Amino acid sequence: MIKGIVFSLWVVFVNFAVFTEARMFTDAKGRQIEAELVAHAGEKIVILRSGKKFTVPITAFSQIDQKFIRAWISENPTAIDVDYKFRFYADTEQSTGRQIDGAAYNDKVKFKDNLYEMIVYNNGSTEVVDVTIRYEIYVADFVVMKGNRYARLASGADKVEQLEVIAGELKNQSIPVKGRLDFERKFSTEFYIDRDGSSTDATAEDKVIGVKIRVYKGDKLLDEYTSGEDSDRMEKVTWEDQKPGEQER
């Protein structure tokens, strides 16, 4: 066994470690060290040797050890280096409405097209590999089309707010060091206006509250970001954990 560390190493601090038993690792030049696998971070792993932690590129090891390391990573997705640093951006734009005739009293419903632009920045020192990005857009839904409820507003029904959740998910994403991941979501909100001749009797309009973005590695939550179009309302909104395609409530 060699007396020193033969790979290019530097000490890092790691939490949530899942240690393996000590193993004799061989580098690409055939040299050996005895160490324990502690964590992984992109294309690097963290090993424990002589009571100290070191970060080593996976490609520094022999092909046999690389296969062993990648199998261990697959079995321990949450044993990650905590040196992840994210920055987020989110903004929404709304277009003018698309109008349709209503079902009662010559009332009208307009569908307003919305676009939420979102960005996740990798401000850490390690490439982000194989993460899942989830987001939830929250809308105060006053104009509910199901059951033609909007038409009942024309008869003087009270405006009742429901929380609409628009969920999305991006799997198996990678973000290089100092890189960014851009994505967007298009959705519609409704605006109702009840007209009786030339006068307006009642109106109701859906309101975009804001968005939450989460970054996961396996089942482990790495970071969460909240952006509110209505900051006071957004403080009361909790993560709904709604999967894409589920019915909004």
103-127 average pLDDT score: 80
How many distinct helices (H) and strands (E) make up the chain?
3, 12
Instruction: Give the global pTM.
Output: 0.66
Confidence of residue 64 (pLDDT cuts 50, 70, 90): very high
Model pLDDT for residues 179-230, shown as the tens digit of each residue: 999 999 999 888 877 666 555 555 778 889 999 999 998 888 999 999 998 8
- Residues paired with residue 161 on neighbouring β-strands, in sequence order: none
Q: How far apart are the first and last CA of the chain?
A: 63
Kindly tell me the burial class for residue 74, based on how many C-beta atoms sit within 10 Å of its own C-beta (0-12, 13-18, 19 or more): exposed
Domain ranges of the chain: 1-83, 86-234
CATH 3.20.20.70 fits 1-83, yes or no: no
The sheet with strand 162-175 has its strands ordered as 162-175, 128-141, 207-217, 220-228
CATH code matching the domain that covers 86-234, chosen among 3.30.70, 2.60.40, 1.20.1070, 1.10.3470? 2.60.40
At residue 247, what is the residue type?
Answer: Q
